[in-house]
């Protein structure tokens, strides 16, 4: 087979995979703009006859979608802020301080990555129930306030910062907290941003924990709200597609805007031989 032929075949293949990947997403957007019942006809229409925003209006006005959106935003935002702060402090300490038992403790933390989160959910629910946090933002935020992966990510990054920078700040009489704030944090900006992006998108898309902890409909996140909507409105295809669009768009926009930063997180966390 000659080179030209290979090239054509290869690029056709890439195009086909690209279309297969995009088609369901594009169809979601298209169907969300069709009037009720239109998408369920046969053969399935590809484009709306007359685009309408009625389903988006119905979702936000009647079906609480705005509230779910707000809940998701508050929870993902709070988890992102708190965990980025806590993880960065812990990652810094593991990378730049020598104290007894440090490496043992860090290895023990890494071993914790093996435990699937589902194992913790039953006791965590009971625990938060006695503390009165079931069906509250606090309950949804708590398990995400620090993460082993986040600490690992920051530690790897801080270890590459030369000790001389920290020593210089110490000679200038800076307190340890000041060093963290004025030397480490500014240098860590890229990895902090990556971690924040990961955390926000991960928390936004999280389903099982909010499903368990939020018992009142008014406290549902978008994911939980959408899944429960699916139970009641299975036949409203166009409405469900509009709900999916609302749920997907924010993270998709974040990803497209900050792709480079997001991919870096996978590389640091993924190829760690």
Partner 1 sequence: MKLETQHFTQTIMTTSSRTTAAWIFLSPALAVIGIFFVLPVLAAFTLSFTDFDIYALGNWDYIRFVGFQNYIRIVETPLFWKALKNTFYFVLVGGPLSVAVSLGTALMLNSKLAKFKSLYRTIYFLPVVSSLIAVAIIWRYLYHPAHGILNYLLSQIGIAPIDWLGDPDIAMPAIIIMAVWKNFGYNMLIFIAGLQNIPDDLYEAAHLDGASWWQQFKEITIPMLKPTTVFVVMITIIGYFQLFAEPYVMTQGGPLNSTTSIVLLMYEQGFRWWSMGYAAAIAFVLFAIILFFTVIQMVLQRSVRH
Binding residues among 83-112 for partner 1 as defined by CB under 8 A: 86-87, 89-90, 92-94, 97, 99-100, 102, 109, 112
**Calpha distance 13→20 (Å, rounded):** 11
If one asks whether residue 126 binds partner 1 (CB under 8 A), the answer comes out as yes
Binding segment toward partner 1, per CB under 8 A, in 11-19, 53-61, 63-71, 156-164: 11-19
10 forms part of the interface with partner 1 (CB under 8 A): yes
Concatenate the DSSP letters of all residues of 34-66 into one string.
Answer: SPTTSTTSSSPPSS-SS---HHHHHHHHTS-HH
Query: Which of 47, 110, 115, 159 is close enough to bind partner 1 by CB under 8 A?
Result: 115
Give min distance, CB of 140 to partner 1, in A: 12
Place of tokens 């090239």: 7
56, 73, 125, 149: which one contacts partner 1 (CB under 8 A)?
A: 125
> Which residue's entry shows tokens 């509250």?
136
Check if the beta carbon of residue 227 is closer than 8 Å to that of residue 211. Answer: yes
- 133-172 residues near partner 1, rule: CB under 8 A: 142-143, 145-146, 148, 151
Distance in Å, CB of 202 to partner 1, minimum:
10
Query: Which residues contact residue 183 at a Cβ distance below 8 angstroms, ignoring those fewer than 6 apart?
Result: 161, 165, 166, 169, 174
- Please give the structure tokens belonging to residue 17: 């995979």
Single residue of 70, 159, 230, 257 touching partner 1 by CB under 8 A: 230
Q: Are 6 and 205 in contact (CB under 8 A)?
A: no
Residues 190-229 close enough to bind partner 1 by CB under 8 A: 201, 204-205, 207-208, 212, 222-223, 226-227
């Amino acid at each position: 087979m000659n080179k030209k032929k290979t090239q054509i075949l290869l690029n056709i293949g890439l195009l086909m995979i690209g279309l297969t990947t995009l088609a369901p997403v594009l169809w979601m957007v298209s169907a969300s703009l069709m009037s009720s019942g239109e998408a369920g006809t046969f053969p399935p229409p590809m484009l709306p006859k007359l685009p309408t925003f009625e389903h988006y209006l119905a979702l936000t006005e009647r079906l609480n979608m705005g509230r779910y959106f707000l809940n998701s935003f508050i929870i993902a935002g709070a988890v992102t802020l708190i965990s980025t702060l806590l993880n960065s402090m812990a990652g810094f300490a593991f990378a730049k301080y020598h104290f007894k038992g440090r490496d043992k403790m860090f290895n023990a933390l890494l071993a914790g990555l093996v435990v699937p989160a589902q194992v913790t959910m039953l006791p965590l629910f009971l625990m938060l129930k006695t503390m009165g946090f079931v069906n509250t933002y606090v309950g949804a935020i708590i398990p995400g306030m620090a993460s082993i992966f986040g600490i690992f990510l920051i530690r790897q990054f801080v270890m590459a910062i030369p000790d001389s920078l920290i020593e210089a700040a110490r000679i200038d009489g800076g307190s340890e907290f000041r060093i963290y704030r004025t030397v480490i944090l500014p240098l860590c900006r890229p990895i902090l941003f990556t971690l924040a992006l990961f955390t926000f998108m991960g928390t936004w898309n999280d389903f099982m924990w909010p499903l368990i902890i939020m018992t009142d409909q008014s406290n549902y996140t978008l994911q939980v709200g959408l899944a429960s909507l699916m139970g009641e409105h299975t036949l409203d295809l166009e409405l469900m597609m509009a709900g999916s669009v609302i749920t997907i768009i924010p993270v998709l926009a974040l990803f497209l805007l900050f792709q480079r930063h997001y991919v870096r997180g996978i590389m640091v966390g993924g190829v760690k031989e």
